[in-house]
Amino acid sequence: MNFWPFAAALCLCGFAAPAAEPAPTVAPGWDWLLPEGIQPAPYSGFVTWGKGRFSDMITVAGVMATWKQMCPAPDTYDWTPVLQAIEKNKAAGMRSGIHLKGVESGAVPDWIVRQYNVPVIPVQPLSATQPWHISIVPPWHPDVMREYRKFLDAFAKTGIARREDVVYGYIHGISPSRGEELFLRKQDVADWEAKAGLTPQGFADCIKARTDAMLAGFQGVEWKLAWMTDGGPVVNVNEAYKKATADLCDYAISHGTGWRGGGVDFMHNLFESSVLGASIDKDGYCVIDETLPLLAERRFRGDENEEYGKGWEWRFGPYEGHEYRHRISTLRTLQLRQNFQMVSGETLTLNPDLNRYAMLTQGRLWDDSPDAWAYLRECVIKPNTTVKNLERWLIQRDVDGSRSVACERVDRYKLGRDPDDHHFDMDARRTDRKNGQDGLAFQLDSKFWTQPQAAILKVTFTDRDPARWHVAYTDARSGGAKGEAKTASVENTGDGQRKTATFEIANLAAARQFPGQMDFRLVSEGPGDLTVTMVRVIKKNWKEPEHKPR
């Protein structure tokens, strides 16, 4: 995985004219290579919930511990199955995540249902074509709440949560999906109010009690806990439920928990997420607030990037379209600075190089990342809301001389939030030479690029037009005007193929010298335009920092 083709001594002092940069190289397809010796961030991982470790990239396995298993009789607890599962994972080279499940009927002790005469309620399916059907035991039932709290109090005394090889714990709630996530639909509320006495305050009290119990069980390591909704009300079916559940997410996060979602493989969810610090600015770019404790403290930030393959065509359409969705969804996990992903065998089959890249770069922040990138695209996430690009410490902006055109249309299966007439994305941006715009302009985040240094630039482009193009940048050693320099040119042929050009730049200053305070430009010399999908800036002399235990 070593992409360094040569070793060169760099003189970073004075203003003598620098030696010519090596000629760029061009290779077919994508290039996800990283510096040799890079290892996954310590608090990160690909997660499986299955019975086996189907890839060496899997480093965490979920331990599904049901209330029924652990509590076979009143006030009787046996944690042996959990401990055995943790040790089994450890022997297989994996850490563990804890799921204390107790809502779906198969996870609730039979004696609870019998002793307290609790109803067991079938759940209306999410879709007529979904392959599973479940029932729940209402967790808001007062006797169920009391007994489940006793169960969690007993768990707290075990110290399991504080084990170094236990990296997360889900705060399970209730949902119509798999029973123990955290969302309700109108039909669920209506059905459960009629059959099991559900009320807005009763639901809120139940979830808050579970949160308190999990916080007690993970005392001192609250950052391992995974809250499972976005900011704002947990249940939006009417004003009463909105009011009762409005502060539940803030309550959990403010008490030190992490977060887990389940929708990143829908591609375009979470561009607007208060809990993750994601918002869309006035120009249509998704920006991330990296000052939030959830991010800056490197708490658990996870998702489920796993719904691929023939078994998920009922939700996402023909399998042939899954590879594109996987690419965007995987990069979205990195854009959102997530550190754990539940993946399936199909996830890891679709694009092995990208998956390994994600495994090695997730969980990193600006101070320990080897690269920054911008993926140039455009999508419509709801009527009148267009989002431009996916960006991670490298931004592309339209400024004078570098105003881009969205291009490379990808038609795809309809996502739930798509406007009725918009089931496609633009998967690149191009220059617009006929209107005097010959470049694409980029700026590096100053937290990431703190000083002039050697860089590797990888530009993934589609060779649409015959054209020569180069990188214009600032070299702090140069005696030229404002230190501006440029690389040797790439010669496009117009063969329509996806390619990646690699440039080695001995001293990239990122000095904000280009229009709009940009740091460098990709410049088309003509006659045609340059069509680019992704740009990565890699610290050539990057070394893995010494990580302290979380």
The model's pLDDT over 367-383, given as tens digits with 9 standing for 90+, comes to 999 999 999 999 999 99
Query: Smallest Cα–Cα separation from 44: which of 60, 55, 29?
Result: 60
For residue 268, the model assigns a pLDDT of: 95
Give the SS3 label for residue 204: helix
pTM of the model: 0.91
Task: Give pLDDT, residue 49.
Answer: 83
Burial, 126: exposed, middle or buried (Cβ in 10 Å; 0-12, 13-18, 19+)? middle
3-state secondary structure of 56: coil
Q: Which residues of the chain have pLDDT under 50?
A: 1-17, 480-481
Q: What would the two tokens of residue 383 be?
A: 């009527």
Q: Which two tokens stand for residue 83?
A: 């401990």
What is the rounded CA–CA span in Å between residue 338 and residue 359?
Answer: 11
Domain segments of the chain: what residues? 25-36+372-539, 47-260+301-322
Q: Can you tell me whether residue 456 is helix, strand or coil?
A: strand
Q: What is the predicted pLDDT for the residue at 252? A: 97
CB distance 176 to 123 below 8 Å? yes
Q: What is the dihedral of CA 224, 307, 387, 236, to 10 degrees?
A: -70
| pLDDT number for residue 429 | 98
- Cβ–Cβ under 8 Å, residues 139 and 206: yes
- Identify residue 306 by its one-letter amino acid code: E
Secondary-structure class of domain 25-36+372-539 per CATH? mainly beta
Alpha-carbon span 126 to 131, nearest angstrom: 10
